[in-house]
Amino acid sequence: MKLKGIKAILFDSGRVLNYPSSGNWFITPNFFEHVDKNIFERIEDMDKYNAFRKALSYIDKNKLIKTREEEYYHFVKFYGILSGELPILNLSDEKIELIAKDLVYNNNKYTFYEDALEIIPKLYNRYQLGIVSDAWPSLLNVYEEASLIDYFRTFIISSIHGILKPDSKMFTLALEELNILPSEAIFIDDNYKNCEGAKKVGIKPILLNREKDNIEQTKYTEINSLIELLHIL
């Protein structure tokens, strides 16, 4: 079924257009230059999970992070908490700061999916494009490094506004910047709840299921690749 009257396409970023180069959002590209990999891998998975979860609870309480400098400050705290929970890693303050710096200032920390690199220029010729992502300010630098930033007319990052999807403001901010009606936009995310958030403001949601998981039945259009967008637009 072809979608009609669409003027803009809004994308989530993580797991839609890109993914962490290390496979984990918080294990930076150079993480194991500062952390003994053998020791890290010997730690019980549940202990690592609980340590990262406690560090994440700190970040979750600090939703308003407007600048890259503020992001760095908070991730020094993040990795400090992680270190305190996993003392076996024996991380000095200097190593904690270097890991945080790698997370915030390494513009190659994410890898873009091949279908994203292929389709973004094609869609740009026909639609206004935007990002609506739960992320931090350094995400902008990732897109600049990949020479993709100029394809997007709006770039809504949650921490800069102190809110998270599915908050309706994340979507209305993008609509206002593009000067379009909700019915004139589609939103692509891999998270069902975020699709519901877009639907509530009148945006057509599309669920991206790259892994073809047996996820719950969805009432929304589902695609397994961004290339499939070309068949419905």
pLDDT of residue 220: 87
pLDDT of residue 216: 57
pTM of the model: 0.94
Could you give the 3-state DSSP secondary structure of residue 46?
helix
Domain 8-20+109-232 has CATH 3.40.50.1000: yes
pLDDT of residue 3: 85
95: exposed, middle or buried (Cβ count in 10 Å: 0-12, 13-18, 19+): middle
* pLDDT one digit per residue (tens) for the chain, 233 residues: 678 899 999 999 999 999 999 999 999 999 999 999 999 999 999 999 999 999 999 999 999 999 999 999 999 999 999 999 999 999 999 999 999 999 999 999 999 999 999 999 999 999 999 999 999 999 999 999 999 999 999 999 999 999 999 999 999 999 999 999 999 999 999 999 999 999 999 999 999 999 877 555 568 899 999 999 999 99
Could you give the 3-state DSSP secondary structure of residue 194?
helix
- Token pair listed for 40: 């890290």
Could you give the 3-state DSSP secondary structure of residue 8?
strand
CB 52 within 8 A of CB 45: no
pLDDT of residue 213: 72
**Cα Rg, the chain, nearest whole Å:** 19
Q: What angle do CA 113, 118, 119 make, to 5 degrees?
A: 100
pLDDT of residue 219: 80
